[in-house]
Amino acid sequence: MDRVQLRQRISFDAARLLHGRRVGNYHDARWQAARTITGSFLPAECLPTDVEIRVHLQQLMGSLGTFPATLPGPGTPEDSDLPEDRFDHYLALLLPLDRVMQSADLHPEGDVLYHSLQVFELTRATHPWDEELLTAALMHDVGKGIDHRDSHQAGLTALSGFITERTRWLIDNLPSAHRMFEGTLGSRARRRLATSESWDELDALAAHDRDGRVPGRRVQQPEEALNVLRVMSAE
């Protein structure tokens, strides 16, 4: 298996260890899973982060209907710099979305991954150089593959430490932008959004989110979309 597949396998097995209470923290779960799968030393880039393991743990709990009051909290990055392996983390969050179907009335295009890739393409057409906005476009719905009860917060939690503050703001305020479009957002919240520095980009993202629902529209593969962001981040 390649590096991404190995990270996902270790992450899933570590989540199973935590869920079965056979270990009590992410560090031990990660290394026990890695030793069981490979039986040899692995470089750091082959090991999943705490957040990747948490995502699989939430998915496992959701599939079994066993959501506890609290989950072990992932470690916090030591500094504010985004990790170099964040694109592997993004891919791990995106891939399960092809199995998450949405209401056919609201989303005739089908699964969440296909929708997300459409939103990415539409945003890229209008804002090709805005890496933070493009990241928000691609990753805005990842929580739907984690916790259907509160997908918005689940997505923000899974992305914590892997996105910039502006990208987080764009994703966090996307529901409010939709309510503004529908005319159901309060006047104070409307003023707050409309005077925000990134309001124009948020408004564009909301429009693309509404428009990214076309059956049969041609999109890139998730790996190709992430490579666009990877190249932008290196420039």
Question: pLDDT for 119-158, tens place per residue?
Answer: 999 999 999 999 999 999 999 999 988 887 888 988 998 8
Q: State which of 75, 103, 129 marks the end of a domain.
A: 75
The C-alpha atoms of residue 67 and residue 71 are separated, in whole angstroms, by 9
Do 103 and 205 lie in one domain? The reply is: yes
Per-residue b or e along 169-193, where b marks 16 or more CB atoms closer than 10 Å to that residue's CB: bbbbbbebbebbeeeebeeeeeeeb
58 and 100 inside one domain: no
Instruction: Read off the pLDDT of residues 188-235 as tens digits, 9 standing for 90 and up.
Output: 999 999 999 999 999 999 999 999 999 999 999 999 999 999 999 987
Note whether 115 and 206 are same-domain residues: yes
199 and 161, same structural domain? yes
C-beta separation of 108 from 215 below 8 A: yes
* Predicted model pTM: 0.69
43 has pLDDT over 80: no
pLDDT at 69 exceeding the cut of 50: no
Same domain, residue pair 26 and 121: no
Structural domain for 33, as ranges: 1-75
Do residues 135 and 68 both lie within one domain?
no
How many CB atoms sit inside 10 A of residue 21's CB? 7
Residue 28, pLDDT above cutoff 90: no
161 and 103 in a common domain: yes
Q: What CATH number does the domain containing 167 carry?
A: 1.10.3210.10
pLDDT at 77 over 80: no
Q: Check whether residue 17 and residue 107 sit in a common domain.
A: no
Q: Contact 67/61 with Cβ under 8 angstroms?
A: yes
Residue-wise DSSP of 186-224: -HHHHHHHHTSTTHHHHHHHHHHHHH---TT-----HHH
User: Does one domain contain both 25 and 139?
Assistant: no
Structurally, how many domains does the chain consist of?
Answer: 2
pLDDT at 75 exceeding the cut of 70: no
